[in-house]
Amino acid sequence: MRFTLNGKVVNVRAHPMKRLLDVLREDCHLTGTKEGCGEGECGACTVLVNGAAVTSCLVPVGQVRGARVTTIEGLKRHRALQEAFVSEGGAQCGICTPGMIMTASTLGPSPSLDEIRSALAGNLCRCTGYGGIYRAVQRAGKKKHGGRL
């Protein structure tokens, strides 16, 4: 099974119905993608497939043949977002954080609060009440565009 993982072509031998989540964690040894529910509700396992956020617990690896898969380990060009998650309190226990950041990375520049709330509705966080996450995404959005911090 060939696909591009974080910019590199990988070839994985796995049952085509094995969850992408398990292939990433077990076959590719990338454990930054987390399992919170196994039913696509919590978003902790969010990765990007061809640039779109998906819950990797609901994706058979057979369906990413030839696709571009990006995980938290391969997230480039979003350092400002990651740093803002630290400084604004967007990460507490951290288990939802990789998935949350992956989804947030698909937002356009300078998203409004409403856009952030809509985009992140598929990522559950039980620690923060989401406030720190909104502030982190907004801060990173402004930074990216040279706005005032």
Return the residues of window 9-28 that contact another protein according to CB under 8 A.
Answer: 15-19, 22, 25
Q: How far apart are CA 3 and CA 40, in angstroms?
A: 22
What residue spans of the chain are helical by DSSP H?
A: 20-22, 79-87, 97-104, 113-119, 131-144
Phi, psi torsion values for 10, nearest 5 degrees: -125, 155
Q: Which of residues 34-73 bind another protein (CB under 8 A)?
A: 34-44, 46, 52-55, 57-60, 62-63, 65, 71-73
Determine the Cα–Cα distance for residues 142 and 101; give it in Å rounded to an integer.
Answer: 16
Stretch that binds another protein, among 5-13, 126-134, 141-149 (CB under 8 A): 126-134
Q: How far is the CB of 47 from another protein (least distance, A)?
A: 9
Q: Is 144 an interacting residue with respect to another protein (CB under 8 A)?
A: no
Dihedral sign (CA 31, 36, 39, 44) = negative
119 binding another protein? (CB under 8 A): yes
Name the one range near another protein by CB under 8 A: 5-13, 97-105, 138-146.
97-105
